[in-house]
Structure 1
Amino acid sequence: MAGPLILIADDDDRLCQVIADYLQGEGFVPIQAHTGTEALALWEAPRPDLLVLDWMMPGRSGVDVLREVRRRHDTPIIMLTARDDEADKLLGLELGADDYLTKPFSMRELAARIRAVLGRTRSGPAEPEVIQYGDLMIDLAAHSVYRNGEELSLTPTEFKLLAVRARNPNRVYSRLQLMEAAIGDYYEGYERTVDSHISHLRRKLGDGGLIQTVKGVGYKLVPPKG
């Protein structure tokens, strides 16, 4: 049985091949693109299970590809960047990336990151469960969120973060607890990215105080009135 289909998009042909060879040895099925335009074409068909997307590429950049994919789908995306700039990393996460790696990186860590992202976005069949908070409805089985009857477009990580708190809305979760419950395996720097995901989630929800910050502790979800 074939493993997950992974699209590797990077203008460095040699690096692409090295990644592809390693991932193939780890049981994945890699395909390659060397421009943003090629990456979008291969994302359309055959729709991969995950994208490994370089930040800088000729023509359409990785950020352009990220925006376009997120506008239309929740395909998991890991961004690669040569710049160790926290602002760049946070921008990628805010635009909907599920994770990032700074070059140079180890192939072993990349494979582990891919497994972690796929693990949290490919959860097994869930029992039908819908949580209703006033005008906010969270369908845990269908991985869908609606507000005032309108479906919201959340990334897999954003949905996981919301779902974790929705099960125990008044419980205060620390960043570490949210990271472990929603994101899974620990990697250095993940804890700081929770704030970025929360900020993005708040904007999509039109928050209005739904997600409250408990100073010095973490976050909690407060059901809307009505």
Structure 2
Amino acid sequence: MAGHILLAEDDKALSALMQDFFRAAGVAVTPAYDGAQALTLAQERTFDLLVLDVMMPQLNGLEVCQAVRRESDVPVIFVTALGQEGDTLAGFRAGADDYVTKPFSFPVLVAKAQALMRRARGLRLGETELGYGSILLDTATHAVTVDGAPVSLRPKEAQILELLLREQGHTVSRDLLIERVWGVDFDGDERMVDRHVAGLRKALGTAAQHIKAVYGKGYRLGES
């Protein structure tokens, strides 16, 4: 499962950007725009991770984290402009699992969040597993799941998915897909690739959003 996070950030423009990056990685996001709203949501719903801005109206992130910690061990990442050692220590004393200082890399924040959620659930990709967001492929058995539910793929669709997973974040050309999936002696045309990618997307359901068509080049799984 990709996970569901509570994102508490009072800067709505920054929050929107963060939400875009999390959702692009297959993570569901519920936003909050002040500390009181964040605490209410955290107490009423179940989340896999909290991402809390430290400086928020009504209640700051430290206060939210302290209140949550009295009831839950859900992972918490603080995101803040306060980067002094004392500020970082205060965050960890309040119960944070990680601390990210602004300005920060959005992909790094997402990676930190995913690692914490996997650790909290005791999940690790096995030696034969490839994953992105809610998609998991076992290369030994060719079994594919989305959010833990099995997905039925045709053999070449599974081969395309495996190649896209191995090259995630990079554009894979149609020529390379033909070479790896159909072989160098293939005498068809590139439309065969597009038809199989369309079938793959249909089978993946909501997770199909992670496969992007790159105009004039090929396909990419995930963000570049």
> Normalised by the size of structure 2, how large is the TM-score?
0.53
Aligned position for 1:101: 100
Equivalent residues in 2 for 1:1-226, closer than 5 Å: 3-123=2-122
1:138-179 deviations in whole A, cap 9, x for unaligned? xxxxxxxxxxxxxxxxxxxxxxxxxxxxxxxxxxxxxxxxxx
Bigger relative contact order, structure 1 or 2 (CA pairs below 8 A, ≥6 apart): 2
- Please report how far the alpha carbon of residue 70 of structure 1 lies from its aligned counterpart in structure 2 after TM superposition: 0.6
1:70-104 deviations in whole A, cap 9, x for unaligned? 11110110001102111111111122100010001
Give the number of the structure whose alpha-carbon radius of gyration is greater: 2
SS at structure 2 position matched to 1:43: helix
Distance in 2 between the 1:122 and 1:94 partners?
A: 23
Q: Which amino acid aligns with 1:102?
A: T
| CA contact 2:43–2:68 (8 Å) conserved in 1 | no
Q: Which amino acid aligns with 2:58?
A: G
Q: Which amino acid aligns with 1:90?
A: L
The percent of aligned pairs where both chains have the same amino acid is 41
SS at structure 2 position matched to 1:72: coil
Q: Which amino acid aligns with 2:74?
A: T
RMSD: 1.2
Q: Which amino acid aligns with 2:48?
A: D
SS at structure 2 position matched to 1:22: helix
In structure 1, stretches of 5+ residues that fail to align are 125-226
Q: Which amino acid aligns with 1:70?
A: R
Distance in 2 between the 1:83 and 1:44 partners?
A: 26
Distance in 2 between the 1:17 and 1:46 partners?
A: 21
Distance in 2 between the 1:44 and 1:58 partners?
A: 18
| CA contact 2:5–2:49 (8 Å) conserved in 1 | yes
- Please report how far the alpha carbon of residue 116 of structure 1 lies from its aligned counterpart in structure 2 after TM superposition: 1.6
1:107-138 deviations in whole A, cap 9, x for unaligned? 100011101211221115xxxxxxxxxxxxxx
Q: Which amino acid aligns with 1:119?
A: R
Q: Which amino acid aligns with 2:113?
A: I
Runs of 4 or more off by more than 4 Å in structure 1? none
SS at structure 2 position matched to 1:80: strand
Q: Which amino acid aligns with 2:20?
A: D
Q: Which amino acid aligns with 1:60?
A: L
Distance in 2 between the 1:3 and 1:111 partners?
A: 11
> Normalised by the size of structure 1, how large is the TM-score?
0.53
SS at structure 1 position matched to 2:112: helix
Q: Which moved more, 1:105-114 or 1:2-11?
A: 2-11
- Please report how far the alpha carbon of residue 45 of structure 1 lies from its aligned counterpart in structure 2 after TM superposition: 2.7
SS at structure 1 position matched to 2:79: strand
